[in-house]
Amino acid sequence: MRTAHTVVQVRAAEAALMATVPDGTLMDRAATGLAHACVDFLGGTYGADVVIVAGSGANGGDALYAGARLARRGARVAAILLSPDKAHAGGLAALRSAGGHVVPANEREDAVARADLVLDGIVGIGGKPGLRPDAVAVMDLVRRHDVPVVAVDVPSGIDVDTGETPEPHVRADVTVTFGTHKVGLLVDPGASAAGVVHLVDIGLGPYLPDPVVESLQASDVAALLPVPDRTSHKYTRGVLGVVAGSEQYTGAAVLAVSGALGGPLGMVRYVGPDEPARLVRARWPEVVAGEGRVQAWVVGSGLGEAPERAEDVARALAADVPVLVDADGLRHVLGRCEGEVLLTPHEGELARMLEVERTDVAARRLHYARAAADRWNATVLLKGATTVVAPPTGPVRVNSVSTPWVATAGSGDVLSGICGALLAGGLSPLDAGSVGCFLHETAGILASRGGPIVAEDIAAALPDAYRFVRGVGEGEDAERG
């Protein structure tokens, strides 16, 4: 599992660790890991041109020390110092000793134009969002000449604790972070600015408290998946009730049921209007139509705006079983929820629920997911490239497995069915939401193979996604054995 911590947590852990090791140890570990990552990115260092953009703090020091290591391995390394009088003295001396040099102000563009790689050492986790004008000017040169960027610890200018990007910031191809992931590296829009994230272990682990953000990996998902045994039957595996679709949106019912049947449950009951029910049973003859015993409800996909459908949502929420509310059903979640409830809005739906602008939600995804979870006393799954799953209390989960091809009509209906199946299988709303997202995106990747898909393709690929995840988990267990 990937875990992320706040700046305060990281600083406290660093202080505790530094009290046990010689001065400079952490910076040496960070610079060594950073240099190795740059070598991997470049495919070798001999003859490569590397430009360091260094600020005045320890972040710049990490970059300069890494630059010295690259210079000793045959790279031509130049440093653009944004605050020459405040540059990290030890790092600068090491760079010069290894053959690197400082770029004069009037030669910055030439140096950037020749570069094979730029190291962003402008500001680290102690900085505020945004960049100073001189840093913006240099990074504009980098963008103009299309030079790859490796960010040191975090892309300079993002809000490290939230992932928000209200001010100008660096967009990196790779971010090499130290000790633990930072929240802004896992949550969009900061995650998009970070590119591929590489974690360097500098020894912080024993000193870190519980994380504030988690990101499941395949082995974590495998460990959470409900798996039947030889004594299982359809009721012990779970029965899901699906209330979805309308005369106008018949496909939503079929897709939600498709997602549910791709899950680990034993039976699906469909409750809805005649035409969607006919289509569901034609597509899936094993589905039972009508009310009956269930272990969880999914309600909302394609209900439409008819006021009487509010009763469907109210009945599901009043049942003494876990409930997932999606899409049109979210209009009818009015007060604080009781019991185990999972709400699955996209940005527009959450904006409507909270009476804010959609652009605000997109810019502050973590903030608004947490706010909604607190307001409705429910776990909130905010869909997106990095889906945020926020429970009323405790760490937030972020799903970082994604493909843009799942952004297709009906994809959310399939997701609601998957998550509902996991609820019926006994998972908590937090686990059902985060595991469901992982499986949904994995199925999308397997189905698309880099090309267009439709929602039904995602549902059809779910068994392969389950097999892939379980295979990863069994492989790791075998390695441990």
The pLDDT score that the predictor gives to residue 480 is 40
Was 86 annotated as part of a binding site? no
Was 128 annotated as part of a binding site? yes
**Alpha helices (runs of H) in 326-390, residue ranges in sequence order:** 347-354, 358-363, 365-376
Was 387 annotated as part of a binding site? yes
Q: Which residues pair with 177 in a beta bridge?
A: 199
Q: Show which of 154, 179, 212 is a domain's final residue.
A: 212
Question: Cβ contacts of residue 481 below 8 Å, gap of 6+?
Answer: none
223 lies in the same domain as 350? yes
Q: Would you give the end-to-end CA distance of the chain in angstroms?
A: 20
Domain that residue 315 falls in: 218-479
pTM of the full structure: 0.94
At CA 319, angle to CA 264 and CA 305, rounded to 5?
A: 90
Was 182 annotated as part of a binding site? no
Q: Which residues pair with 396 in a beta bridge?
A: 213
Q: Which two tokens stand for residue 289?
A: 């139509």
201 lies in the same domain as 222? no
Was 106 annotated as part of a binding site? no
| Contact status, residue 346 vs residue 412, Cβ threshold 8 Å | yes
- The whole-angstrom separation of Cα 418 and Cα 462 is 9
Was 61 annotated as part of a binding site? yes
- The whole-angstrom separation of Cα 200 and Cα 149 is 17
* Average model confidence (pLDDT) across the chain: 96
Was 99 annotated as part of a binding site? no
Note the pLDDT tens digit of each residue in 205-226. 999 999 999 999 999 999 999 9
166 lies in the same domain as 243? no
Was 130 annotated as part of a binding site? yes
Note the pLDDT tens digit of each residue in 279-322. 999 999 999 999 999 999 999 999 998 888 999 999 999 999 99
Residue 456 above 80 pLDDT? Answer: yes
The pLDDT score that the predictor gives to residue 479 is 43
172 lies in the same domain as 282? no
376 lies in the same domain as 246? yes
175 lies in the same domain as 252? no
112 lies in the same domain as 86? yes
Was 188 annotated as part of a binding site? no
Count of domains for the chain: 2
Note the pLDDT tens digit of each residue in 91-142. 999 999 999 999 999 999 999 999 999 999 999 999 999 999 999 999 999 9
**Residue 380 three-state SS:** strand
Closest CA to 398 of 200, 182, 203, 167: 182
227 lies in the same domain as 110? no
192 lies in the same domain as 238? no
Was 412 annotated as part of a binding site? yes
Tell me, what CATH number does 88's domain have?
Answer: 3.40.50.10260
**Residue 341 three-state SS:** strand
307 lies in the same domain as 378? yes
Q: Show which of 170, 191, 212 is a domain's final residue.
A: 212
138 lies in the same domain as 237? no
76 lies in the same domain as 110? yes
Q: Show which of 156, 181, 212 is a domain's final residue.
A: 212
